Amino acid sequence: MEKIKVFELTGRNAISMQNGEKLYNALHSKLMDGQKIEINFEKVNLFASPFFNASIGLLLKDIEVGNLQKQLSVTDLSDVGRDLLNHVISNAITFYKNSENVSKAIDQTEANNNDE
Amino acid sequence: MKKIIHIPTIKDDGPGYEKILGIAREVFDDPYHHFDFDFSRCAMIDHNAVVVLGALARYVDYHNTQMKLSKSMLLFSRSLANVRSAPNVAGVMFLVETMNSAVRERLIGNNFLSHFSSGSLEGYPTGGYLGYREHNYLQDADKIADHLQNEWLSASKLRLSDKLKPAITSRILEVFSNAYGHGVSIQDIKTMGVYSCGQFNNKDKTLNISVLDFGPGIITNVKRVRGDMSNIDAMHWALVKGNSTRTDSQLSNIPRGLGLDLLHNFVHVNGGELRIHSNDVKVISNKTSGLIVEECSGDLRGTMVSIKINCDDRYYRFTSEAEPTQQQYF
């Protein structure tokens, strides 16, 4: 199983969307190919939701959560990080279930605003 | 023309927020003046007022810099003659000579006055301290995280357990992420940053922080993407888990909208308090009052989030422990 050390991508803080995108890019194609991957959070100390939204959350757009659980192994993640990760996944599942309608509504409102 | 603003006693309570937002409104409405802040009627001042005063000084600076007349500064007695004789100086002056010793010590001890001093006062803290900070308009998440973890929450008088400290840091990072993502990144005043002030109350062992930005504000952002609705409804919408105005990134397919919910849950579980003031709506959430969303008299041109956290592990649980419905995927 391939091991991705998150610290090497983000440093000790997993906070921003930009760093989340790095993890997403390292994972997406491999998971889509059906590979199993370990993501290791050793030495990563701080977490915020934008990081997980843009990484694991975004993966759920293309991958069912059950498959993600089978293919992804999460190691050395602190209790705070794990708690946050589970919240993000739960939110992402709801988001993608409703996203088509919500995105269309927001895009339409913004288009209307721009027309005015 | 010079305006004198008398700062009353301002505490971290409902009337305190009303008072400081009233002062903010007065400055917002017409910032093209020189303002003297007189503290002779102020017995004590808390973090919520300190952060607003600092941000207002920069706001006035910004507007008067465009007229090439500005410099917010601290006025203390020995520079009085020089400053008053200088023509065409517009900005803010915090009249130290009008402060009682408790107010002066607090504003030195939290490093507030050092940001506006043209001279020197003794007693400013260095390194790890709880107090007033100004954060650049370009978000540096690592810098803020390091500051919170290694300086802010490492203040010698604050004793946090290894369990509670990363949890608090994580949630405060959500506040900053919101301030930058939904405020600074899309604000009209490009160079204004994010302003924060922390305070530890030794008596009840609570940690307080207020974070302020000059972005469009939550109500304005929500109405931009959701269309016309009442201000109260707009704030309620913003508080719902998963709802987001997507102003933090052009990438529309990323799930988001967790920051306020995580913060709210954390404060709830901790038995603390969350206050949000944005545009003309305020949110108060604590054990006594529950969640209150109502209009407030002042119109804050931006967003201020203030939280009170109990620093005792007895008040600490993970939010998922408090939400048994939260599924554990990993």
Q: What is the CATH number of the domain that holds B283?
A: 3.30.565.10
3-state secondary structure chain B: CEEEEECCCECCCHHHHHHHHHHHHHHHHCCCCEEEEECCCCCCECHHHHHHHHHHHHHHHHHHHCCCCECCEEECHHHHHHHHHCCCCECEEEEHHHCCHHHHHHHHHCCCHHHHCCCCCCCCCCCCCCCEEEECCCCCHHHHHHHHHHHHHHCCCCCCCCCHHHHHHHHHHHHHHHHHHCCHHHCCCCCCCEEEEEEEECCCCEEEEEEEECCCCHHHHHHHHHCCCCHHHHHHHHHCCCCCCCCCCCCCCCCCCCHHHHHHHHHHHHCCEEEEEEEEEEEEEECCCEEEEEEEEEEEEEEEEEEEEECCHHHCCCHHHHCCCCCCCC
Chain B residues whose beta carbon lies within 8 Å of the beta carbon of residue A90? 326-327, 329
Same domain, B278 and B191: yes
Contact call for A91 and B249, based on CB within 8 A = no
Nearest to B166 among A11, A46, A72 (CB): A46
Contact call for B241 and A45, based on CB within 8 A = no
Contact call for B254 and A57, based on CB within 8 A = yes
In this predicted structure, what is the pLDDT of residue B75?
60
Residue B287 lies in a domain: yes
Same domain, B255 and B155: yes
Q: Which of A16-20, A91-95, B126-130, B194-198 has the lowest mean pLDDT?
A: B126-130
Same domain, B140 and B112: no
Per run of 10 residues, the mean pLDDT along chain B (length 330 residues) is 93 94 91 93 96 94 67 52 46 93 94 82 71 80 82 70 82 87 71 87 88 91 90 94 75 80 88 94 93 87 92 68 77
Chain B nearest C-alpha distance from A26 (Å): 17
**Residue finishing a domain among B88, B117, B146:** B117
Residue B124 lies in a domain: no
Same domain, B76 and B143: no
Same domain, B51 and B192: no
Q: Which two tokens stand for residue B236?
A: 């309620």
Same domain, B89 and B136: no
Contact call for A84 and B169, based on CB within 8 A = no
Same domain, B63 and B96: yes
In this predicted structure, what is the pLDDT of residue B279?
92
Same domain, B329 and B182: yes
Answer whether A83 touches B (CB < 8 Å): yes
Same domain, B28 and B141: no
Contact call for B326 and A90, based on CB within 8 A = yes
Residue B125 lies in a domain: no
In this predicted structure, what is the pLDDT of residue B70?
47
Provide the domain limits for residue B27.
1-117
Report the sign of the C-alpha dihedral through residues B175, B117, B59, B24, in that order: positive
Name the closest residue on chain B to residue A55, using Cα atoms.
B254
Contact call for B145 and A46, based on CB within 8 A = yes
User: For the complex shown, is ipTM > 0.90?
Assistant: no
Same domain, B103 and B136: no
Q: Which of A56, A90, A101 should we substitute to test contact with B (largest number of B Cβ atoms within 10 Å)?
A: A90
Answer whether B225 touches A (CB < 8 Å): yes
Lookup result for tokens 């930058």: B180
Q: How many CB pairs under 8 A join A and B?
A: 131
Number of structural domains, chain B? 2
**Residue finishing a domain among B83, B117, B151:** B117
Answer whether A108 touches B (CB < 8 Å): no
Chain B nearest C-alpha distance from A34 (Å): 19
Same domain, B56 and B159: no
Same domain, B29 and B178: no
Residue B92 lies in a domain: yes
